[in-house]
């Protein structure tokens, strides 16, 4: 597997193509302007280590740098920043000047016309609709029941099976099966059952991984190149097209199931509250949107992706870090012991929201994981007008500004000289509570008007899964693979994290 493989061949072709253009322009007496910080060949060479390389570059440049300048096929400058003041300016203070824009929607077309891709009035209306759903009393009443059900039907059987087999398993796959079942219930209201859920999760996860890698690759290549691949149906664009078909098929099936349930009232109302029901039910506010099936699919795919992929990714990094910091794992286990009921000292137990809220050190360890390994490592915006960042850098209209969320957690100017060390204690106040950092500094859940609606719910879900596993099982990482971030729009690992699971209670 060398550069002669695809996409290695494609990268070579692009570099040769640019070299030809450079020589051609020099012969015509035209000046070729390479990136200020890094020439494209170096950028290509660093492709697989992009996030770590970006962090190093930004640390040396003071938090903001011009990555690409005046390349004719890009037709825009591209700035990269990890400066919290710049982030606050872009995402909050001057939010309307930096929309996601057409450039974003072209690259993220797999999410169609969902709230993830929209701007302006449409985005405001849709966000208000989904915010109402997440804040609804029925949501908070039903989610604990669905989570308890998913633990009983998914996580416990999977962990019990794996612990009896005594063979290594891929941790993200293991977590993904449980989280998919839960996210499917939350977004569509469909109870797929163990076998069907596992089958659907495999298809969904594979499609999302392929889509994320293809979208990331679109930011490396000239638009004309990846559009040519798309037209020819080759390479990563072929996988992206196949991924969209898979996701469309799965979600269309869920929409069909839910329509039948609503028309015949097969489901009990007390267990039927989901995003899909909100979009389908004529008596809800959603009726004013006149949402087509295609837009409905786009939004369901987006919410399932947000709930499934980001959560399983963060928890995979969390358990990988714990394997390297046994003292932290020991402290989490000791904290869990403090809040166990008397009859739960030596038996399988899951925890409710009230108990989870008391687990400060576990929360801190998850915050520290999110700081170092944010599930969405880069955010991109396009300037609508000429602007000046707080750092003093001039931004021209049409300029793309990328926020390296990954680098933000590794800046000494922001987090101190120990920024690359895993220290949950940095998140705990002197009086033993959680230290709250501003969103433009701790950017794992976005900031400003587009801040994550499900932040609190995400923490509850992650703490519930992590505490149940840590209390009831010993998870040991096996193998000698060098784990590192993959170049993708989601911070997947470059290799499967293989683990063994051993039951702690008889």
Residues making up the binding site? 452
Longest dimension (CA), the chain: 82
H or E element that contains 125:
helix 120-135
If we measure between CA atoms, which residue out of 342, 279, 332 comes closest to residue 115? Answer: 279
User: Residue positions in the annotated binding site for heme?
Assistant: 452
CB atoms within 10 A of CB 209: 18
Which residue from 378, 375, 440 is spatially nearest to 88, judged by alpha carbons?
A: 440
Q: Residue holding tokens 């963060």?
A: 314
Distance CA 141, CA 139 (A): 5
Phi, psi (5° rounding) for residue 476?
Answer: -120, 125
What angle is formed at CA 220 by the lines to CA 216 and CA 223, rounded to 5 degrees? 100
Q: Where are the alpha helices (DSSP H) in 281-325?
A: 293-324
Tokens of 396: 């021209």
149: phi > 0 → left, psi -120 to 50 → alpha, else beta; which? Answer: alpha
Joined together, the tokens standing for residue 220 give: 């490396």
Strand order in the sheet with 78-81: 64-68, 78-81, 400-404, 378-382
Sign of CA dihedral 437, 438, 439, 443: negative
Burial zone of 474 (CB within 10 Å; 0-12 exposed, 13-18 middle, 19+ buried): middle
Angle at 261 between CA 260 and CA 267, to 5 degrees: 165
Q: Are 154 and 185 in contact (CB under 8 A)?
A: no
For residue 114 the two structure tokens come to: 């969902």
């Amino acid at each position: 597997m060398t550069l002669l493989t695809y996409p290695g061949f494609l990268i070579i072709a692009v570099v040769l193509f640019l070299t030809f253009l450079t020589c051609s322009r020099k012969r015509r007496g035209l000046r070729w302007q390479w990136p200020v910080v890094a020439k494209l060949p170096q950028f290509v060479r660093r492709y697989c280590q992009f996030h770590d390389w970006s962090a190093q570059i930004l640390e040396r440049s003071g938090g903001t740098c011009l990555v690409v300048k005046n390349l004719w096929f890009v037709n825009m400058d591209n700035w990269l920043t990890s400066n919290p003041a710049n982030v606050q300016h872009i995402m909050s203070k001057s939010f309307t000047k930096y929309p996601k824009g057409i450039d974003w929607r072209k690259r993220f077309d797999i999410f169609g016309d969902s709230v993830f891709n929209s701007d302006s009035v449409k985005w405001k209306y849709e966000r208000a609709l989904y915010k109402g759903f997440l804040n609804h009393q029925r949501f908070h009443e039903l989610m604990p029941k669905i989570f308890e059900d998913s633990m009983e039907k998914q996580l416990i059987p999977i962990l019990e099976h794996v612990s009896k087999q005594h063979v290594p398993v891929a941790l993200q796959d293991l977590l993904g099966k449980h989280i998919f079942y839960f996210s499917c219930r939350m977004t569509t209201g469909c109870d797929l059952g163990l076998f069907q859920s596992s089958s659907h999760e495999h298809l969904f996860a594979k499609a999302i991984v392929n889509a994320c890698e293809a979208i990331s690759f679109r930011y490396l290549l000239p638009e004309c190149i990846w559009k040519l691949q798309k037209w020819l149906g080759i390479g990563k664009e072929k996988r992206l097209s196949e991924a969209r078909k898979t996701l469309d098929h799965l979600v269309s099936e869920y929409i069909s199931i839910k329509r039948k349930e609503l028309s015949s009232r097969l489901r009990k109302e007390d267990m039927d509250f989901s995003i899909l029901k909100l979009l389908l039910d004529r008596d809800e506010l959603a009726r004013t949107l006149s949402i087509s099936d295609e837009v409905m699919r786009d939004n369901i795919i987006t919410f399932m992706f947000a709930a499934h992929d980001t959560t399983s990714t963060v928890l995979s990094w969390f358990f990988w870090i714990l394997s390297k910091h046994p003292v932290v794992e020991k402290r989490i286990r000791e904290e869990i012991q403090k809040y166990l009921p008397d009859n739960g000292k030596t038996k399988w137990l899951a925890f409710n929201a009230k108990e989870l809220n008391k687990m400060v050190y576990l929360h801190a360890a998850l915050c520290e994981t999110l700081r170092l390994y944010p599930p969405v490592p880069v955010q991109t915006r396009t300037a609508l007008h000429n602007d000046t960042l707080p750092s003093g850098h001039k931004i021209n209209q049409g300029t793309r500004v990328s926020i390296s969320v990954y680098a933000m957690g590794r800046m000494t100017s922001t987090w101190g000289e120990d920024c690359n060390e895993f220290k949950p204690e940095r998140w705990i106040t002197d009086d033993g509570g959680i230290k709250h950092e501003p969103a433009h500094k701790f950017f794992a859940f976005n900031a400003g008007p587009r801040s994550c609606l499900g932040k609190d719910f995400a923490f509850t879900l992650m703490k519930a899964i992590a505490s149940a596993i840590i209390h009831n099982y010993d998870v040991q990482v096996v193998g000698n693979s060098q784990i590192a971030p993959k170049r993708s729009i989601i911070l997947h690992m470059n290799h499967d994290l293989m683990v063994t699971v051993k039951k702690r209670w008889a």
